[in-house]
Amino acid sequence: MSGMTEGKPTEHVFHESNYALFVDRRGRQYLVRLEAGKAFSSHLGGLLHADVIGKEPGARLKTNRGHRLLAVRPTMADFTRLMPRTATVIYPKDLGAILVLGDIFPGARVLEAGAGSGALTIALARAVGERGSVVSYDVRADMLERAGGNLAAALPGWSNVTFKQGDVCAAIEETGLDRIVLDLPEPWRAVPHIEGALARGGILLSYLPTILQVHELCRTLRDQRTFDLLETMEVLVRPWEVGNRSVRPGHRMVAHTGFITTARRCEAKPPDEGEDNERADVPEEDPA
């Protein structure tokens, strides 16, 4: 894994083709792919890539104008924020929640629909590991190309992801999947095909920007009667600034970005078993 992180503990230095994250004294970040013969250039001056190759992550290097840059390996969160994109990527705060709430485990067979720029693809590929597999659908060839390029940059040499141009709302070829993760505007249209693709007990997870979309998805899943344990949540993140003499919350926070909805594929409910959409902990109104 010479893209974001180095796999071998004996090689804790930057190599050519690795990605480096340069951070200046004001916290501005620059994602750079190291190539011998090239140089990084900004308003702070220039820095030869050759001066970074061979150095350990955490090195502080001077530009030709005397400014120091901290050079570290980008995390997956750094890479997904700064990588080339043709569509809005899922924020790192949501990626973490998706992996946990979707219970993406090593060795899992996962289908993703809506490859976009590949941020979720990268997260899923790392989570399932080399024993698992990810099939990533998108209706647009340019999205698949971008996602594939970003995956190759972040996880060079990994072969556990297959990209397919297709519409899961029309058909899903795979069966016996452990997890299905959808980043689609109308995921309810795919529910009839998910029924035959997701293994019994498997988890469906959908990422949606508006609550009205969530409502339509949940209504469709309930009508299908083979999905249960529906849950919807969102993640809000407020950073804090901790200085030597003051501690306060940041001026800006990453608030709503999307809703995460999960459901389990189960045995079909009997026709005589109705749906109770009310919360059990909400007391009934007093008729008086």
Local confidence pLDDT in tens for the 288 residues of the chain: 445 544 444 468 999 888 999 999 988 999 999 998 899 998 989 999 999 999 999 999 999 999 999 999 998 888 888 887 776 778 899 999 999 999 999 999 999 999 988 999 999 999 999 999 999 999 999 999 999 999 998 888 889 999 999 999 999 999 999 999 999 999 999 999 998 999 999 999 999 999 999 999 999 999 999 999 999 999 999 989 898 999 999 888 888 999 999 999 998 888 766 555 545 455 555 554
CATH code of domain 78-265: 3.40.50.150
DSSP 8-state assignment for residue 254: B
Backbone angles phi, psi at 190, to 5 degrees: -90, -10
Half-sphere exposure of 71 (CA within 13 A, CB side): 29
Q: What one-letter code names the amino acid at 27?
A: G
Question: What pTM does this model have?
Answer: 0.80
DSSP assignment of 180-241, as one string?
Answer: EEE--S-GGGGHHHHHHHEEEEEEEEEEESSHHHHHHHHHHHHHHSSEEEEEEE---B--EE
Q: What is the DSSP pairing of strand 39-42 with strand 45-48? A: antiparallel
Cβ partners under 8 Å of residue 6, min gap 6: 12, 15, 18, 73
- What does the pLDDT read at residue 9? 44
Q: Taking the domains of the chain in order of start, what are their residue ranges?
A: 9-74, 78-265
Q: What is 9-74's CATH number, 3.20.20.70, 3.10.330.20, 3.90.79.10, 3.30.360.10?
A: 3.10.330.20
